Amino acid sequence: MTSINKPAPTDYGRLLMVSAIWGSSFICIDIALADFSPLAITCWRVILAAVAIILLCGYSKLTIPTDRSTLGLFALIGVLNSLIPFTLIGWGQQTVDSAVAALLIATTPFSTLLLSHFMTGDDRFSWNRMSGVVIGFFGVALLFGHELVFSGNSAMGMLAMLLAACCYSFSSLLIRRLAHLPSLIIVAGSLLVTSIVLVPLLLWLYPPWEQQASTRSILALGFLAIGPTAIAYVLRAQIVRRTGAVFMSNAGYLIPLFAALWSWIFLSEVPTTVMCVAMVLIFLGIFLGQRRTRVKAPVNVA
């Protein structure tokens, strides 16, 4: 693995942007589930995103490597970054509120912190990071704790969200092994390899010519493919290549906050004092998690 850099203001900007995009995905998944099954949503998200990113690579004259080692990593990243978590989240949101789903995805920093300590040489455990994780998670729990405790969410659905969060953590660490490649290539390669499996599956189980869906569901599905999949995954790859998987996992704290923000804007759910307090705790957790982090000499990445 290449060395990681100390987070710069642009890295925090990317983190906020990718969190804002991912925070909107839970509402869109709820909408799309009205007409599409969880696996169909996964297929369309990956396939449409792959087409968009591959066209962008072609425009940028970037070539996807085809050696066995790189293709193997593309396949693993695609499975852990798209196929499994997309399906688990879609399946889980059939019985779990979107707010609770966002909270459970916020457990990503815990699994990332542990996996990164054993799988990398420079993205290691520290007490600052642990304190940041704990404080940030308290902020998320404060924001959505009431819904988690008092709503009738399925235990299996919530477990699916936790497994999805673990998949995201693992895939972030695998992305670092391809840090010598441009971010567009990493995303294009993983989506392309996954699409090769999903295209025949979609045609067999959910033939498009037999699918009936409302315009609302189709637009939600299209946004899921372009926004939270194509654009957000390119941003994520850039962040992981530059600053490591632990820094990227801080998005887990911000995603529920943005999910609440979009619910306020689009569903007229007014933010409360609890939301403001939670935001302070979340950003405090991110600050403590990055303070005095020891890194090796930075490397230049595009």
Calculated CA dihedral for residues 264, 270, 276, 281, nearest 10 degrees: -50
Q: What does the mean pLDDT of the chain come to?
A: 83
149-163, pLDDT tens digit by residue? 666 677 788 889 989
Write down the pTM of the prediction.
0.81
Domain boundary assignment for the chain: 63-290
239-286, pLDDT tens digit by residue? 887 887 778 877 877 888 888 888 788 877 666 677 678 778 877 777
CA distance 67 to 31: 40
- HEC sequence for 98-134: HHHHHHHHCCHHHHHHHHHHHHCCCCCCCHHHHHHHH
CA distance 45 to 21: 14
- The one-letter amino acid code at 227 reads G
19-61, pLDDT tens digit by residue? 999 999 999 999 999 999 999 999 999 999 999 999 999 988 9
CA distance 42 to 36: 10
pLDDT at position 43: 96
